[in-house]
């Protein structure tokens, strides 16, 4: 089983290759399901007479990750940031983390939101093992803290999380761990900041803006292999500028200034990138033309029987012209210098062979031609 990123059954680039039990099966023998999640594609692939396999494909990075726990349950993260599943998470930007906490047959039970709109607690439960998997996600840092595996838990009014684990042996005392969390009950807000702009804006809007800015920072740290990187940076920065009217205010540190600079730099990079793409296309086109011409000439050399001196002269003239075009490729940006060097060497080899054959032909036919001296330029 091969997952490819090109529409080419025979060749296409494969990004994942796994064996199947029945090697003679075809694509029609398998079963396929998918979920389109923006930059992500969740895949279920069931080879013939086998259990399904589960993958998450990232369209931006052209990468695929096998994640079997997706078969149990998979939940969208807030603001379409990505997905969360019993063993980890995968973000739209390509960041992911898989924890070594596999519990069989886990189902999603509930999501608990903090009043500040920043933190979310995802609760997964396995009836067979009587285990809970508690995963806390922060929309600003876009990370999940180490999951808590327990047999029971509760969240108190003040946000305290209490949970316990059963012991393998009987005991008189059971340890209950208590952690302070942001998951308070009700919409609690501090009253001492009511006169500030930030209070009037509201914590949820500020958290949302911070999360989007953090996503933009993540994009800024991406490599060029991230498909459409500069376009995404330009669009994302403009969306943030358009969405939050309060960015230019002094109390919000005038975030519009760096965001506008990022947007301008991204658009400039897009323009420059388009120029580079055009230059690379031109280089590829001219390289292909020379390569095609070389193949035709080399083919003629193999098939020509060389019955007259004109056959030698014609091919030597074509090789000389081809060599000039090959050398001219060095003046074109983004042409592969290794290709040019290799082709030049091959032209030199072919020229030498034909020259030697031509000399031998003239020596063999000297008496037939009826002259004592014959000269021809072979350079």
pLDDT, residue 365, reads 64
Cα distances from 187 to residues 114, 143, 297, in angstroms, run: 9, 24, 80
Residue 53, CA distances (Å) to 15, 33, 44, 104 in order = 16, 11, 6, 15
Task: At 4, give phi and psi (nearest 5°).
Answer: -120, 155
**HSE-CB of 287 using CA atoms within 13 angstroms:** 20
Span 323-330, mean pLDDT? 90
User: What is the separation, in whole angstroms, between the first and last Cα of the chain?
Assistant: 55
**What is the tens place of the pLDDT at every residue in 263-299?**
999 999 888 888 888 899 999 999 999 999 999 988 8
Strand partners, 113: 120
Residue 205 tokens, joined: 């809007």
pLDDT at residue 193 tops 70: no
pLDDT digits (tens, 9 = 90+) for 63-87: 999 999 898 899 999 989 999 999 9
Q: How far apart are CA 86 and CA 68, in angstroms?
A: 10
Q: Which residue has the higher pLDDT, 24 or 264?
A: 264
Please state the domain extents for the chain: 1-66, 73-188, 191-275, 304-369
Mean pLDDT, rounded, of the chain: 86
Looking at residue 309, what is its pLDDT?
86
Residue 8's pLDDT is what? 63
Tell me what pLDDT residue 173 has: 67
**Whole-Å CA distances, 173 to 69, 153, 179, 197, 208:** 34, 17, 19, 51, 44
pLDDT higher than threshold 90 for residue 199: no
In this predicted model, what pLDDT tens digit does every residue of 203-219 receive, in sequence order? 888 899 999 999 999 99
**Cβ count near 359 (within 10 Å):** 13
Tell me the C-alpha distance between 326 and 349, whole Å.
14
Q: How high is the pLDDT of residue 301?
A: 85
Residue for token digits 């396929």?
A: 32
* DSSP states of 296-316: HHHHHHHH----SHHHHHHHH
pTM: 0.69
CB under 8 Å to 168, separation ≥6 — which residues? none
DSSP assigned state of 120: E
Cβ pair 83, 37 in contact under 8 A = yes
- The DSSP symbol for 21 reads S
Mean of pLDDT values over 354-377: 64
Residue 374 has pLDDT above 60, yes or no: no
User: Does 170 have pLDDT greater than 80?
Assistant: no
Residue 5 is given by DSSP the state: S
């Amino acid at each position: 089983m091969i997952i490819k990123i090109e529409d080419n059954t025979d060749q296409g680039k494969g990004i994942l290759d796994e064996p199947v039990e029945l090697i003679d099966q075809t694509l029609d023998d398998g079963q396929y399901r998918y979920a389109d999640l923006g930059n992500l594609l969740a895949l279920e692939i069931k080879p013939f007479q086998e259990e399904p396999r589960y993958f998450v494909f990232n369209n931006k990075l052209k990468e695929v990750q096998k994640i079997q726990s997706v078969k149990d349950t998979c939940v969208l993260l807030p603001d379409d940031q990505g997905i969360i599943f019993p063993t980890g998470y995968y973000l739209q930007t390509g960041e992911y983390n898989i924890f070594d906490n596999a519990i069989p047959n886990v189902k999603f039970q509930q999501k608990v939101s903090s009043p500040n709109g920043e933190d979310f607690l995802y609760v997964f439960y396995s009836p067979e093992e009587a285990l809970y998997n508690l995963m806390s996600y922060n929309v600003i840092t876009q990370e999940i803290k180490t999951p808590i595996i327990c047999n029971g838990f509760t969240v108190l009014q003040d946000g305290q999380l209490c949970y316990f684990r059963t012991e393998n042996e009987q005991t008189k005392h059971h340890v209950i761990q208590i952690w302070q969390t942001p998951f308070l009950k009700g919409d609690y807000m501090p009253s001492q900041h009511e006169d500030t702009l930030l209070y009037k804006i509201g914590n949820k809007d500020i958290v949302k803006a911070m999360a989007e800015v953090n996503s933009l920072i993540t994009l800024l740290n991406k490599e060029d292999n991230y498909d459409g990187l500069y376009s995404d940076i330009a669009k994302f920065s403009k969306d943030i500028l358009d969405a939050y009217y309060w960015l230019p205010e002094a109390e919000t540190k005038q975030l519009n200034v760096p965001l506008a600079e990022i947007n301008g730099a991204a658009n400039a990079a897009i323009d420059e990138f388009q120029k580079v793409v055009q230059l690379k296309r031109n280089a590829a086109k001219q390289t292909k033309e020379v390569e095609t011409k070389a193949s035709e000439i080399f083919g003629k050399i193999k098939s020509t029987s060389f019955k007259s001196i004109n056959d030698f002269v014609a091919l030597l003239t074509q090789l000389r012209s081809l060599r000039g075009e090959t050398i001219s490729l060095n003046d074109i940006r983004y042409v592969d210098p290794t290709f040019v060097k290799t082709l030049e060497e091959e032209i030199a080899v072919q020229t030498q062979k034909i020259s030697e054959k031509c000399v031998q032909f003239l020596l063999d036919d000297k008496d037939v031609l009826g002259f004592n001296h014959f000269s021809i330029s072979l350079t």
